[in-house]
Amino acid sequence: MFLARLFTSRRARLTALAAVPLVAVTALTAVAEQPASAAPGCSVTYATPSQWDGGFTANVAVTNLGDAVDGWTLTWSFGAGQQVRQAWNAQVSQSGAQVTARNVSYNSAIPTGGKVEFGFNGASSGSNPSPTAFTLNGTLCTGDVGPTTTTTTTTTTTTTTGNPPVGNLPSSFRWSSSGQLISPKPDSTHANVAVKDPSVVYYNGKYHVFASTYTDGYNLMYTSFSDWSQASAAPHYYLDRSGIGSGYRAAPQVFYFAPQRLWYLVYQTGSNASYSTTTDIATPSSWSAPKNFYANGMPQIIRDNIGNGYWVDFWTVCDTAKCYLFSSDDNGHLYRSETTVAQFPNGFTNTVIAMQDSDRYRLFEASNIYKIAGKNQWLMVHEAIGTDGRRYFRSWTAPAITGPWTALADTESNPFARANNVTFPGGQWTRDISHGEMVRTNVDQTMEISPCKLSYLYQGMDPDAGGDYNRLPWRLGLLTQTNSTC
């Protein structure tokens, strides 16, 4: 039976292997008043390290030149209609031109001579002049550092727009699929037969794609291109040539952790969730050596419930206070661990079962959790194996990362993405819609997407292929939503 082949081959694979943006804060969010402390002297440095058509990133550094502060509020006005869209290391609200930034729990204290930093992504139209005056806890900052701007302008066609998207996720989905966009590119040391488990971000005018490959073991690859029409011809860089090194590395997830100004690549290393970092996503050789998220390995609650499944497919996502690490076990359980934004990537604990299903195949692996732009709503998609043995995705929504999760399109007859709600204008090259990732509207750890015109990069394969799961001919294709409500 195809179902049994897929599951047992997955087991064989794992058995063999064993022997840019901090937390998005919506502008206009109501924030409780913080206690004001004296601040008779302060200075502010305001910089816009990058700008693009319709938007920019700003970094703000506040130096306390007066008495120690315990709880701070910084205010300023924009002079050209700019709007704050997402912020990190501060809670930010905006009313007209007036912007108010308040401390979060972990950076409320600024000692005399101390400094606090935060940043945000903003929308602009035309010019983007820097603010000319800042006030800290009611005191005008007149220190000699002063506002400064150092700007790198980039040309991009990012999907982030100046206004929040208007529209909602539908209760059922329809998609059109491309043909095979990314296939293996074997070389003298990488005789790859599959490309799978993709992660993708659009940054500085290019799509950056990371994926698993398989030769006689699993490895990671990177490719980039400015348009999907270029994907098949774009060269592949194998990440065992970077600090990530050789050995079992699979199922990557890439994002920019704005508080640290670092790119993170999260992936499996066989017995743990691991990560590498870089300051330059476009230079694949720059990734650091692997480090583990869990100091003591698999949490006990997973050991108690995994049965004959496998610990796979790690997914990181953050809100304004915490970062969460999800994982699956091929046994009907989705797990969630947490740490604070300030501690990330350390301190993951409090591992719980976030969702479970008595039918292991209905909640198998490969979860994604996304923030819906402009709404207090999160979307979860999770891979299942259908009664026909084919892979597909179910979906749920929730008001928070921690739930509660409400079914959206979660059945074989009304799936998030399955062969029965996907058309193939160029011919149906796959009947599996498997492990993938949404093309996001930003690149940071909030995993934000627009509810409009979704795109999903996924793995599929020749419907007639069979044999060892490791050597199944997975290829990457792109789903484009055809029934968007906006």
* Confidence class for position 41, pLDDT limits 50, 70, 90: confident
Burial readout 379-398 (b: 16 or more C-beta within 10 A, e: otherwise): bbbbbbbbeebbbbbbbbbb
3-state class (DSSP) for residue 450: coil
Q: Is the pLDDT of residue 64 over 70?
A: yes
Mean pLDDT, residues 430-450: 95
Spatial separation of the C-alpha atoms in residues 399 and 275, rounded to whole Å: 28
Once rounded to an integer, what is the mean pLDDT over residues 28-42?
Answer: 45
| CA of residue 22 relative to chain centroid, distance | 11
Higher pLDDT, 23 or 237: 237
Residues with Cβ within 8 Å of 159's Cβ and at least 6 positions away in sequence, in order, are 202, 439, 441, 450
Which of 249, 270, 178, 264 is closest to 456 using CA atoms?
Answer: 178
Which residues are bridge partners to 263 per DSSP? 256, 278
Give the residue ranges of DSSP H helices in 311-453: none
pLDDT of res. 24: 35
What pLDDT score was predicted for residue 210?
98
Q: C-alpha angle 170/173/178, rounded to 5°?
A: 135
pLDDT at 372: 94
- Give the pLDDT score at 208: 98
Which of 167, 195, 178 lies closest to 422 in space, CA to CA? Answer: 178
pLDDT of residue 1: 42
Distance of alpha carbon 87 from its chain centroid, rounded? 16
Task: State how far the Cα of 380 lies from the Cα of 355, in Å rounded to an integer.
Answer: 11
| In the predicted structure, residue 72 carries a pLDDT above the cut 70 | yes
Of residues 124, 141, 109, 112, the one with CA closest to residue 45: 141
Please check the confidence at residue 480 and state whether its pLDDT lies above 80.
Answer: yes
Please say if the pLDDT value at position 19 is more than 90.
no
Express as a percent the part of the chain with pLDDT over 90. 69
pLDDT score at 106: 73
User: For residue 16, what is the enclosing H or E element?
Assistant: helix 2-18
Phi/psi for 236 (5° steps) reads -105, 135
Distances 18 to 9, 12, 92, 202, 330 between C-alpha atoms, Å: 14, 10, 46, 34, 16
Report the relative pairing of strands 273-278 and 83-88 from DSSP bridges.
unpaired
Over the stretch 79-131, which tens digit does the pLDDT of each residue have? 899 999 878 888 899 989 999 999 987 788 898 878 888 988 888 887 899 99
The pLDDT of residue 34 is above 80: no
pLDDT number for residue 166: 60
- Whether the Cβ atoms of residue 171 and residue 69 lie closer than 8 Å to each other: no
Query: pLDDT-based confidence at 22, cuts 50/70/90?
Result: very low
The amino acid at residue 34 is Q
Give the pLDDT confidence of 285-336 residue by residue, as tens digits: 999 999 999 999 999 999 999 999 999 999 999 998 999 999 999 999 999 9
